């Protein structure tokens, strides 16, 4: 029960951060880099690992660390989708090198957990459907 409550709380935090990032990235004025920073903070909170340290790791290393720390598979899928979304924001914000790293990290995580990941998985409609599925599984 406690684990389930913890997961629901993690999912809600991710959903809130992702929704807020949409507002920041598409608002007036649009601020994709602020949206990217918001998502990075959510990653650190969700993993109980220092987000800055985690996100400096190579793509293969980040996937391995998540496996070793026995991070919940649904949380891992949130991480992969979030990093892929962040990569889009970083491209929009003029940081292609960091965007490429986030994209590679997202796909390394997805491959390590056999999570189907593609650009269409980070649309608002796909995220909303994903939020509903994970919340239902956790309940």
For 2-48, how does the pLDDT look when each residue is reduced to its tens digit (9 = 90+)? 666 777 788 888 888 999 999 999 888 999 999 999 999 988 887 77
Instruction: Decide if 134 contacts 8 (C-beta within 8 A).
Output: no
Count the domains in the chain.
Answer: 1
Containing domain of residue 21, as a range?
A: 2-138
CA atoms of 77 and 135, how far apart (whole Å): 13
Percent of the chain clearing pLDDT 90 (strictly above): 47
What is the pLDDT at residue 128? 87
What is the arithmetic mean of pLDDT over 41-61? Answer: 86
pLDDT over 90 at 57, yes or no: yes
* Per-residue CA distances from 63 to 35, 41, 54 (Å): 23, 18, 10
What is the pLDDT at residue 39? 93
């Amino acid at each position: 029960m406690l684990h389930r409550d913890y997961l629901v709380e993690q999912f809600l935090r991710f959903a809130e951060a992702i929704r807020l990032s949409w507002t920041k990235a598409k608002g007036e004025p649009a601020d994709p880099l602020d949206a990217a920073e918001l998502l990075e903070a959510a990653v650190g909170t969700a993993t109980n690992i220092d987000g800055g340290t985690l996100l400096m790791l190579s793509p293969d290393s980040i996937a391995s660390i998540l496996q070793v720390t026995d991070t919940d598979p649904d949380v891992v899928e949130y991480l992969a989708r979030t990093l892929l979304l962040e990569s889009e924001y970083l491209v929009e914000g003029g940081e292609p090198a960091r965007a490429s790293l986030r994209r590679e990290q997202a796909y390394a995580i997805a491959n390590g957990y056999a999570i189907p990941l593609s650009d269409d998985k980070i649309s608002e409609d796909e995220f909303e459907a994903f939020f509903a599925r994970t919340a239902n599984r956790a309940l």
